[in-house]
Structure 1
Amino acid sequence: MQKIITTIILSLGILTGLSAQVSLENGDITIYGGSGGSPYSAFGIGDLLPTGFGLQEAFSGTGIGMANAYFVNNTNPASLTSIERPISMIFDLGLNFGMTQTRAEESAPYQPDGSLTNFNLWFRISRLWSSNLGLQAYSKVGYNIVDERYNPSAGGDYSMVYTGKGGVNRIYWGNAWQITPHLSVGGNLNLLFGTIEDAQTFLSDNSLSGFTIKSENHLLGVGWDAGLQYRIPMGKKNLVLGLIYANPINLSSEKTSQLLAVQDTLEQVSIWDEAFRIPKKLGVGFSFKASERLNLAADYTVQPWSEGRLNEDLSLYNTRAFSVGVEFIPNYDKYYGYYQQTLVRAGFRVQDAYLEVDGRQAKQWQASLGIGLPFNRYRNHLNLTYTYMQRGTSSLLETRHQLGLNISLRDVWFVRTKIR
């Protein structure tokens, strides 16, 4: 665990322009995620968040090969053409509420958090062309690390407190076209922006010797991603194959740092540009409609983080992720459509982290369980999802319980009413 904390503290020193030596022989470290965040989010732009919402959230992010007729799938832009007529507009709003525990040698309290995760507006432009506009959280930063020490030459007890908050948001515009009855292609144009705030505070028994270094990092970048889906009808069954690719994204960074003394008005401000690089991403997946009551899906993605850059002295590792999802209609009624049914969903995901923990690449996994409830004469859906997540090892283990809420509102635009 000491090696892990050393890596985190050294990285925090690098990110704020400090050179520091860390000795763990005569100190105690308290480490936890601030505002329900994670100490791992101290690196780069923080924890990267999944793009899927609603249905995909209950599938633990699975969706590359899913072509649902009533729910927007944000995992693969090619799926935007799968919404059935006469639906011409779908609005999605997502929120989540969670409790995160970061545990080192001993137990730690759970930290609560909640946030608005996404807005999304899907609309049909023509019979073969659909579009999508949205805003969602792309990454999240939240940590609080207290490093307590004793040094006689420094006058006794002292501590270093490292905190961080903020993240990156994503505005996207997606379009998809149905090329043939079985083939659809699509893409997103993405604008990434956000602010990450971090601080290092030195506190000692001598109140005159304290100081704080505060930094604000303003990030901006543009990228794109694309996908395709191919549908293979099998009578009453249906198989969909999917593929996605996201190009590397370079984020420009303008960082401002301030040195604040406890008993002094002196401020030292420096501004410089940095660059972060998020590597490309490639994924494949499929979904299989086994019956009117049962849908299955699976995804596999890779991301070569060795080609990325978060800061110069941090080693990054290539990542892989595998996920599966299932949807079941427990009380299927053939006289009602799919969107009028109560839907039960579950998912599982396992993936590598791009960081090293205890000398090996860290792992994380999650399991999800969700339900979709129709309301307002079955035109709309309320999707509830519970997710349990774990990351790290016994030396530094994160556990999270999360409740996701998604409201999906459907409407029909530009349809004339016929009077007989």
Structure 2
Amino acid sequence: MLRIYRQVRQVISSSLLAVAATSPVVWAQSLGNSPYSALGIGDMYSEGNVTNMGMGGIGVSNASPFYLNLQNPALLARRSRFTVFEVGLIAQSKGLSQNINNGRQSQRNSGGNLGYLALAFPANSRWNISLGLRPYTFVNYNTQQRELVPGTNFTAEYNYKGEGGINKATVSNGVRVTKNIYVGVDASFLFGNITHSSDSRALISAEDLRVNRLSRTTYSDIVWRLGAAWRPKLSDAWTLNVGATYDPQLRINARQTDIYQTTLSGQALAAADTIRLNSNGHITLPQQARFGISLERNNTLVFGVDVGFQQWSLYRTPDNKPGNLVDGMNIAAGIEYTPKASSMRYRDLITYRAGFQYNQMPYRVNGSQITDVSGSVGLSLPLGAYLVNHVTLSIVGGQRGVLTGTQIREQYVRFALGFSLNDWWFRKQVVD
């Protein structure tokens, strides 16, 4: 137990140093400027760990005794007697392009963040518990638009900016009901705030007239997820994995503050007008269902497919208004290969991964739904005296949106680095 405590302390210290070293990027940009994060509650972070990201994000049916599964709580019960601690770090480089006035405008940006912290341990031979902390969504955009004021020769400038996000602290439980059937439940506390600001500026008679609006929403509530899995043996070598998760539709507490102010050449024309101050409301977070199926060969080869649906058209703002979103869907496929899991040769224990993901995002521009298509690769290197600890690297490359009409195209490369530390806790010491 002392050994894993020292390992956990070292990894946490290294992770915090990495975050601190990149703090201007992490806190200022999150994963980089994303105009689409202005909609709804922002861009969603991947729900899987670094291992899942290398396999296209699949994880509803497949699990491993050496890594945590953060997508289906039922599969926690597949874990062995090991206690595991995991840390994930995420960084992203992105290029944005848009056709404006018969010309293409482009920019590049980058960002990074702490992806997750998670700890799982066995309560008994059938029941495993996990504690986790991770970002859930992020908002980060800064756009500008200029156009003539109708009926005049004056130019109006509109600036839109957003930042913030929602975090998630989770307690998960997975229980093995029979030899091949598992069930589980997540209870997560969502917390965080998102700020949207906008201003309209017009230059009239050499004077700068500006109207500002600041809207800040704070979120805090509990959400649930149910999971189930079935693992029948097909033969001595092959196992079928089937899994499903369900997130029910919930109303999440949200407090709003809205402030308006008009300035002329930088001087306030009147006191700020507070329309709302910590006004209580609720957003409607729509239900989500995910299904997965995979084939597994003796901890050596795993390949599978996940499908997910979420009814974002039912999303409602804190004012109980439609969020102008559409239903989303995603399909992911992935493969994982370890040459010889029972070997003691180092090269036989290196795990390789590859995957593909197709997402129909809940955003619609000019009647066309935005899609996100990506491919991924990854590998895990065993560490430690018994080679049961791992450092994992996953790389995801993809594109969201296309250069059609006023759509914004985002081309990105995402890097994820994960640490997985395993040890036995609560062992009885035996003196020979």
| Residue pairs, 1:238-257, within 5 angstroms | 238-257=239-258
Tell me which residue corresponds to 1:316. Answer: 325
Structure 2 gaps of 5+ residues are: 1-28
**1:55 alignment partner, SS class:** helix
Q: Which residue is 2:49 aligned to?
A: 53
Q: Does structure 1 conserve the Cα–Cα contact (< 8 Å) formed by 2:301 and 2:337?
A: yes
- Residue in structure 2 matched with residue 14 of structure 1 by the alignment: none
The 2-side partners of 1:213 and 1:315 are apart by 21
- In 2 relative to 1, CA 58–48 (structure 1 residues): closer, same or farther, beyond 3 Å? same
Deviations 1:390-409 (A, max 9, x none): 11222321111110111111
Kindly provide the amino acid, as one letter, of the partner of residue 228 in structure 1: A
- 1:175 shift after superposition: 0.6
Structure 1 segment 260-409 matched on structure 2, within 5 A: 260=261, 261=263, 262-264=266-268, 266-271=271-276, 272-290=279-297, 293-310=300-317, 312-329=321-338, 331-332=339-340, 334-336=342-344, 341-377=349-385, 378-395=387-404, 396-409=408-421
Give 2:4's aligned residue: none
Deviation at residue 180 of structure 1 after TM alignment: 0.9
1:95 aligns with 2:89: yes
Q: Which amino acid aligns with 1:295?
A: V
Q: Which amino acid aligns with 1:136?
A: R
Give the direction of change, closer, same or farther, for the CA distance of 1:413–1:358 in structure 2 (3 Å limit): same
Query: SS in structure 1 opposite 2:147?
Result: strand
Q: Evaluate the alpha carbon distance shift between residue 124 and residue 337 of structure 1 in structure 2; reply closer, same or farther with a 3 A threshold.
A: farther
Structure 2 residue identity aligned to 1:335: S
Give the distance between the partners of 2:125 and 2:138, measured in 1 at CA: 38
Instruction: Output the CA distance in 2 between the equivalents of 1:108 and 1:123.
Output: 47
> Cα distance, 1:334 vs. partner?
4.0
- Give the C-alpha shift of residue 60 in structure 1: 2.1
Distance 1:289 1:161 in 2: 52
Letter in 2 for 1:221: D
Instruction: Tell me the alpha carbon deviations over residues 18-73 of structure 1, each in whole angstroms, 9 at most, x when there is no partner.
Output: xxxxxxxxxxxxxxx98613111111211122211121111222111113111111
Matches within 5 A, 1:182-261: 182-205=180-203, 206-233=206-233, 234-260=235-261, 261=263
Which AA in structure 1 matches 2:53?
E
Q: Is the Cα–Cα contact under 8 Å of residues 301 and 335 in structure 2 kept in the other structure? A: yes
User: Does the residue aligned with 1:79 lie in a helix, a strand or coil?
Assistant: helix
Letter aligned with residue 269 of structure 1: T
For normalisation by structure 1, the TM-score amounts to 0.86
Q: Supply the distance in 1 between the matched residues of 2:306 and 2:360 (Cα, whole angstroms).
A: 14
317-326 or 196-205, which deviates more: 196-205
Letter in 1 for 2:403: S
Measured at CA, do residues 35 and 127 of structure 1 come closer, stay the same or move farther in structure 2, by a change above 3 Å? Answer: closer
In the alignment, structure 1 residue 104 sits paired with structure 2 residue 98: yes
Are residues 195 and 208 of structure 1, via their aligned partners in 2, closer, same or farther at CA, if it must alter by over 3 Å?
Answer: same
Between 71-80 and 278-287, report the one with greater CA deviation. Answer: 278-287
Q: What TM-score, normalized by structure 2, do the two folds share?
A: 0.84
Separation (CA, whole Å) in 1 of partners of 2:384 and 2:240: 31
- Per the TM alignment, residue 292 of structure 1 is displaced from its structure 2 partner at its CA by 5.0
Distance 2:137 2:348 in 1: 34
CA distance in 2, matches of 1:279, 1:170: 17
**In 1, Cα distance between equivalents of 2:213 and 2:142:** 15
CA distance in 1, matches of 2:33, 2:291: 30
**In the alignment, structure 1 residue 412 sits paired with structure 2 residue 415:** no
Which AA in structure 2 matches 1:139? T
Cα distance in 2 for residues equivalent to 1:127 and 1:332: 27
Q: Contact 2:253 / 2:280 at 8 angstroms: preserved in 1?
A: yes
User: 8 Å contact 2:55–2:356 — kept in the other structure?
Assistant: yes
Going from structure 1 to structure 2, the CA distance change for 1:337 and 1:253 (only over 3 Å counts) comes to farther
What does residue 5 of structure 2 align with? Answer: none
2:160 corresponds to: 162
Give secondary structure in 2 for the equivalent of 1:71.
Answer: coil
RMSD of Structure 2 on Structure 1 (CA): 2.3
CA distance in 1, matches of 2:65, 2:381: 16
Matched, 1:84 2:77: no
Residues 345, 162 of structure 1: alpha-carbon distance in 2 compared, 3 angstrom cutoff: same
Query: Does residue 121 of the first structure (1) align with residue 119 of the second (2)?
Result: yes
CA deviation string 1:263-293 (max 9, x = no partner): 0272121323343212111121122113553
Find the aligned partners of 1:184 and 1:35 in 2 and give their Cα distance: 35
Indicate which of 65, 75, 99 corresponds to 2:71.
Answer: 75
Q: Distance in 2 between matches of 1:416 and 1:74?
A: 29
Q: For the residues of structure 1 that align with 2:347 and 2:137, how far apart are their CA atoms?
A: 32
Change in 2 beyond 3 A, CA 1:339/1:64: farther
Deviation at 1:172, TM superposition (A): 1.0
User: Percent identity of the aligned residues?
Assistant: 25
Alpha-carbon distance between aligned partners in 2 of 1:51 and 1:291, rounded to the nearest angstrom: 26
